[in-house]
Amino acid sequence: MRLYNFEFEEAERLRQIVASLCEGSRDAVHLHGEPGFESVNGCRLTFQLGDHDSGLAQKGQAEFVCVLTPDGWGDVAHLIEPFCARGCAGYQWLNEEGTVSLLLSKTGQW
């Protein structure tokens, strides 16, 4: 799954969302419902706090859930940090543990 076409402020918002899971202030985030995030073709993505790192998996035709521990979400927040600066470029695999990998890409390319 690809998260792409964003500005550094939006990357910072994503990092804050992930940090809220890492800190335990939220148990789940429906990313498709968060301000500033636009779903493609009705795709729904949920980030969820879990007891083990199972990663990203497809749960329905257009429904995906990424389940990670607080440490796992901390790793993801760290990987997002370089995209939170002006002039960020490139891509980063955020998680490859599940049946689907999670990619953050400034332009959509990798």
Q: Per the domain annotation, does 19 fall within a domain?
A: yes
What pLDDT digit, counting tens, does each position of 24-73 carry? 999 999 998 898 888 888 899 999 999 999 999 999 999 999 999 999 99
Domain that holds residue 78: 2-105
Q: Per the domain annotation, does 110 fall within a domain?
A: no
Q: Per the domain annotation, does 84 fall within a domain?
A: yes
Q: Per the domain annotation, does 49 fall within a domain?
A: yes
Domain count, the chain: 1
Give the C-alpha separation, 107 to 15, whole Å: 18
Separation of CA 15 from chain center:
8
What pLDDT digit, counting tens, does each position of 5-34 carry? 888 999 999 999 999 999 999 999 999 889
Q: Write out the two tokens for 81.
A: 């940090």
What local confidence, expressed as pLDDT, does residue 81 receive? Answer: 95
Q: How confident is the model at residue 78 (pLDDT cuts 50, 70, 90)?
A: very high
What are the b/e assignments for 50-59, b being 16+ CB within 10 Å?
beebbbbeee
Q: Per the domain annotation, does 45 fall within a domain?
A: yes
Q: Per the domain annotation, does 20 fall within a domain?
A: yes
* Residue 79 near residue 69, CB atoms below 8 Å: no
Q: Is the pTM of this model over 0.95?
A: no
